[in-house]
Amino acid sequence: MSTEEFSLVSNGESLGMGTLENIQKEINKCKNQYDSLVNDQKMFKDAIDSNKNYAKQFQERREEKKMSLDADKRKHAEKIQKEEEQQSSVQKEHERLRADIIQIKEELDYLEKKNDHLKQQTEVSTAVPEKKVVFKGKTEQGAHALSFDVSPRIVYPMEGGTALITFEEVGVAQKILSMKEHSVELGECVINVQVKPVQFLVPSYIEMDTQVCPRRILVSNLPSKLPEDKLLDKLEIHFSKTKNGGSEVEEIDMLHDSGTVVVTFVDDSVAKGLTDQQDHKFDIVKGQKHKVKVTPFLNGEISQLHTRYSVCLRTVQLTGIPSIMERENLQDHLEIHFQKGANGGGEVESIIYNPMGHTTLAVFVEDSLEDSQSI
């Protein structure tokens, strides 16, 4: 073998050894790279696991926060609802108190008006029309001496063909009523009449609201010798003059039952000034004056009225009486018949007969004997 051939072999072996080393290096390098990749993979895996753990913890914290937020929202909503309910309750209480205040103000206004009205009534009660009185020798003792009486006076319209008889004794009237029908002889003929009790629907309790009329005055203490028409003319002239405190007179009327005059003004601001002064003098003839008293005129309205039936104990009513003779003659026959004890009658105090086709108003007054009414 030549040296050249040996060199080739020797060079090949040297080349192979170098290659192996390179390969080994490459292997080691790749191994290192692999180990590095494995480490990186492990690190990435750990990072992923850590991130997953963080994500899980975040999700759990998110759920906790969500639940806490929901709970806070519920509490907040409940708090708002409670506050709204309290606000509504406060508003209702405010409205109730405001309604109470309005009601109290209305009641206060009513009481003030009532107080003013009562005050005015008190003032009016001290200003009554002038009445002339005289002592006629009559005296009284006991409780009745200081009593105040209102005498009843009932106007009863009689139907035609009826009569009213008042007996002196209640027992006689009741006996006549119990017989119901009577046969009355009128000369040659006989008439049958029916007997009925006399009943009235009378007030048992009355309440009246009164107020002072702003346009009217009541004039009393009038001169007795002056004719009515002249008196009214002179009063109208006097109270129509502004220098006398008056104004335009709308109407003037005489109240004959009380002997007073009512003057009505057009203006509603005149009456009070005249009633405050009360005493006024007016000319009745030239150079002669007369003093009259001016008091308030009261308007009244019935606020409560209770009624009851009242029976006349001594008065009876006869019905079904035919007109067959003169009024006076028939009335005399009726009185004679019911005076006889044989007919169940007795002493007749009064009798009135109203024929068919006529109108008569019977006046009933207080019966002091039996505390009932009589004609």
| The pLDDT value given to residue 371 | 45
- What confidence score (pLDDT) does residue 203 get? 84
**Lowest-confidence pick of 54-68, 133-147, 190-204:** 133-147
Q: What percent of the chain has pLDDT over 70?
A: 84
Q: What is the pLDDT of residues 228-281, one digit of tens each?
A: 899 899 999 999 999 989 999 999 999 887 889 999 999 988 988 898 888 898
For the stretch 183-217, what's the b/e string if a residue is b when 16 or more beta carbons lie within 10 angstroms of its beta carbon?
A: ebeeeeeebebebeebeeeeeeeeeeeeebbebbb
Ordered by start, the domain boundaries in the chain are 1-126, 151-202+307-374, 206-303
DSSP tag of 225: S
| Strand-pair partners of 366 | 373
Per-residue model confidence (pLDDT) at position 169: 92
pLDDT of residue 1: 42
Closest among 287, 328, 316 to 374, alpha carbons compared:
316
CA distance 52 to 151: 115
Mean pLDDT across the chain, nearest whole number? 83
Query: Domain spanning 206-303: which superfamily?
Result: RRM (RNA recognition motif) domain (3.30.70.330)
The stretch 28-51 carries a mean pLDDT of 83
Task: Dump pLDDT digits (tens) for 287-322.
Answer: 788 899 999 988 888 888 898 888 889 999 999 999
pTM for this model (two decimals): 0.49
Question: pLDDT, tens digit, for every residue of 174-207?
Answer: 999 998 899 998 888 899 999 999 988 888 888 8
**pLDDT-derived band of residue 284, with 50, 70 and 90 as boundaries?**
confident
